[in-house]
Each structure stands twice: as structure tokens, then as C-alpha cells.
Amino acid sequence: MRILVVAATEFEIAPFAEKLKEASKIHPRIKVYEHRRHEINLLVTGVGMVATAAWCSQLLNQFSYDLAINLGVCGSFDRGLELGQVVQVISDRIADLGAEDCDDFLTAQDLRFFDENEFPFNDGRLVNSSPPPEPTLASLAQVDGITVNTVHGNERSIGATIERLQPQVESMEGAAFMYDCLIHQVPFAQVRAVSNFVERRNREAWKLREAISNLCDVGLRIVEEI
């Protein structure tokens, strides 16, 4: 089975990659690994939606994959989630795609740029309606996410985003990954570990290393169950 694993940075994915046997390198950002009976293409896109969309599209056009997995960290709006907890993002949306109208925000659908159910959107969201059935993946909490260009760190904007979208987590890449997988019709999963709560920036309260360790352990278990 050929599996595409996507991460924004090498730091997020290092403990996962260390458990694999490197076979070759397609590009400085794309390494090929072998693990048990699988070929794993590990893509490090760089941070943000633009880089993620561009690199994922290139690989999904060039190769055929049985499964794509996005592994990364996220911030949580939901205090019911624990720092370090690994979750599966089953719906995502681009939070700031639209226009400001004084104190109001108009979505791309409000502006009639496209219909809220125009493929690959479902009610304005990018939805993973058929995630892979592997036990470890199925055991993860399923959450709704948003993808942003600017990570929230202002109480006013955090409150406005919660009121408008009711997100549980946020990342800077998830929606781009899901968009690419949906249009290329590749089975996929977006898996993230909560490194911090979304609040005024306070790195001392983050549990980044714990989140990455848990993320990579879960990622490896998912691959080994396939």
C-alpha cells in the first residue's frame, strides 16, 4: 500500500519518521520510507495553506495513493479537550475566506463567490464523510476545525470566531490538505494533537513536545493497522 503522510514541519513529524526505514528521496521535501508492507511518502510542505495546497496537489497529481494522512499540532478552542490529546478533524473550513463589512464578516458564500454546497464543500465545510475505519483512528475524538493564515491570540477575535463558527480546533494547513484530497478522491484523515489552548499567546502554557510525541505514536499505530 502506498501512503502519503503530510506534515507542515519536520519537527512535528520527527518521532514518526525515526521509526521508519528511509528508502529514497524524491525531493528535499519528499522522502520515501518503507515500513512493514507499506511504502510511505513523507511530505513536509512548509507552514500555511498555500504551501500545503501546492505540494499536496503536485504529489496527488503525480502518484496514486491508497491513503493520505495529515499529521500536525493544533490549538484548541474547546476546553473539554486536553493538552496533548490527539483528535481527528472530520470537518474544516477556511475561517478568514471572505470580506469584512464594518464589524460583520461576510463569507465567500455570502458574497456568492461559490455555493455553500459546491464541490468539494458541504454546507460551507470540507467534510471527511468516510474516514478510514482503522481502530486507532476510530477511537479518536472527532472534532470540527478551522484553518487560518493568522493564528488567534486576541480575545476579541477569538470571541468573534467562536460566535461565528463554533470551532473546536485550529491549524494553518488542515483545510488545504482536505480540499486536495477531496478533489483528487483520495481516502484521507486529518489527525492532530492539541499543543495549546487558543488564547492570548502564552508559550509557557503549551505542551508542544507532549503533543508531538502523542501525535507520532498515534500516526504510527494507524499506519501499522492498515
Q: How confident is the model at residue 167 (pLDDT cuts 50, 70, 90)?
A: very high
Q: How confident is the model at residue 113 (pLDDT cuts 50, 70, 90)?
A: confident
**3-state secondary structure at position 131:** coil
Q: How confident is the model at residue 26 (pLDDT cuts 50, 70, 90)?
A: confident
Is 27 a residue whose pLDDT tops 80? Answer: no
| Residues 63 and 183: beta-carbon distance below 8 Å | no
Residues in CB range of 92: below 8 A, 6 or more apart: 125, 126, 144, 145, 146, 147, 174, 175, 178, 190
How many Å separate Cα 26 from the centre of its chain? 23
Of 133, 143, 3, 11, nearest to 86 (Cα)? 143
Q: Given this structure, which CATH class describes domain 2-225?
A: alpha beta
- Bridging pattern class, strands 86-94 and 141-147: parallel
Of 136, 153, 150, nearest to 191 (Cα)? 136
Is 79 a residue whose pLDDT tops 90? Answer: yes
Cα–Cα distance between 179 and 63 in angstroms, integer?
17
Give the pLDDT confidence score for residue 77 in this predicted structure. 96
Give pTM, 2 decimals: 0.93
Average pLDDT in the chain? 92
Cα angle for residues 72, 73, 79 (degrees, 5° grid): 145
Of 90, 82, 4, 86, nearest to 41 (Cα)? 4
**3-state secondary structure at position 127:** strand
Over the Cα atoms of the chain, what is R_g?
Answer: 17
Is 168 a residue whose pLDDT tops 80? Answer: yes
Give the pLDDT confidence score for residue 171 in this predicted structure. 97
Dump pLDDT digits (tens) for 183-223: 999 999 999 999 999 998 888 889 999 999 999 999 999 99
Q: Compute the average pLDDT of residues 72-88.
A: 97
CA dihedral 45, 14, 74, 180 (to 10 degrees): 30
Of 212, 225, 112, 202, nearest to 152 (Cα)? 202
Q: Tally helices (H) and strands (E) across the chain.
A: 6, 12
Dump pLDDT digits (tens) for 119-129: 999 988 999 99
Identify the weakest region by mean pLDDT among 12-26, 97-111, 164-178, 210-224: 97-111
Is 66 a residue whose pLDDT tops 90? Answer: yes
Cα–Cα distance between 68 and 130 in angstroms, integer?
13
Would you kindly state where each structural domain of the chain is located, as residue ranges?
2-225
Q: Compute the average pLDDT of residues 64-90.
A: 97
